[in-house]
């Protein structure tokens, strides 16, 4: 009888460990959406800065829909850091679908070295972004998913 109780306790412990592992695997299996810069367009240029519309293509790499509350990013052009931007509006991304999103980015010329300004005079640039998605979970809490990407895009004036 003692052997049976010990065996039952071991089986119970194994079941708990397997259950926890399955739960953690399920939580960790959500992939971050893929985000890449699709285009950059100047909205207006002044003496101290410029407004840029940064067009992104955001693709859900999961079969389940994702509810992105917002995202924030750092923008680099030809290796130079331009600053930080964000997209404050929620996104509903269906499974394995993509959506075009435009973020308004404010560029401050006073905080940029002169070499960076020459980058902005080119027709094409290498754009790199890195940042975080804030994804809504079923219980209403937020989960942070990181992203980064590189691409070459046209600068429109």
C-alpha span between 101 and 94 (Å, rounded):
14
| pLDDT score of 100 | 98
* pTM score, whole prediction: 0.78
Q: How confident is the model at residue 18 (pLDDT cuts 50, 70, 90)?
A: very low
Are β-strands 142-156 and 34-45 bridged in parallel, bridged antiparallel, or unpaired?
Answer: parallel
Instruction: Please choose, from the candidates 93, 77, 96, 97, the residue with its C-alpha nearest in 3D space to the C-alpha of residue 85.
Output: 77
* 28-37 pLDDT, tens digit each: 589 999 999 9
User: Out of 47-51, 66-70, 122-126, 132-136, which region has the weakest mean confidence (pLDDT)?
Assistant: 47-51
Residue 75 CA to residue 82 CA, distance in Å, equals 6
Q: Where are the domains of the chain?
A: 1-30, 31-156
Residue 7 three-state SS: helix
Euclidean distance between CA atoms 155 and 157, whole angstroms = 7
Among the four given CATH numbers 3.40.50.10260, 2.60.40.1820, 3.90.1170.40, 3.30.499.10, the one describing domain 31-156: 2.60.40.1820
């Amino acid at each position: 009888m003692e052997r049976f109780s010990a065996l039952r306790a071991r089986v119970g412990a194994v079941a708990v460990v397997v259950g926890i592992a399955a739960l953690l695997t399920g939580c960790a299996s959500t992939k971050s959406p893929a985000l890449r810069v699709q285009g950059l367009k100047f909205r207006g240029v002044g003496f101290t800065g410029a407004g840029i519309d940064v067009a992104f293509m955001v693709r859900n790499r999961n079969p389940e829909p994702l509810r992105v509350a917002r995202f924030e990013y750092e923008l680099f052009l030809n290796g130079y850091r331009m600053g930080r931007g964000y997209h404050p509006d929620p996104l509903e991304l269906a499974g394995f679908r993509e959506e075009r999103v435009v973020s308004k980015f404010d560029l401050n010329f006073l905080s940029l070295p002169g070499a960076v300004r020459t980058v902005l005079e080119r027709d094409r640039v290498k754009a790199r972004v890195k940042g975080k998605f804030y994804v809504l979970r079923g219980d209403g809490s937020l989960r942070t998913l990181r992203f980064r990407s590189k691409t070459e895009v046209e600068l429109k004036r």
